[in-house]
Amino acid sequence: MTFFRLSSTVVVTVSHLKKRSPTGPYWFNRGVPKDLVSVVGKTSIQFSLKTRDLRLAARLPLQF
């Protein structure tokens, strides 16, 4: 698991952040627990973070 330090007190894991291409933006991708798939209707949640900056991409999922 990869960790990214945002400040002296905030450390987040970036294991759910992926890039589809080397020059493209970061994407958030997280699996949905099996017992919630029927409620959510998907097996995973993914969306573009619309940024190429890892530091900013690490902060964005915390806002959702």
pLDDT tens digits, 8-58: 666 666 788 889 999 999 998 889 999 999 999 999 989 999 999 988 888
Q: Which residue has the tokens 């902060």?
A: 59
Please report the pLDDT score of residue 58 as a whole number. 82
Main-chain phi, psi angles of 44, to 5 degrees: -150, 155
Please report the pLDDT score of residue 55 as a whole number. 83
CB 60 within 8 A of CB 28: yes
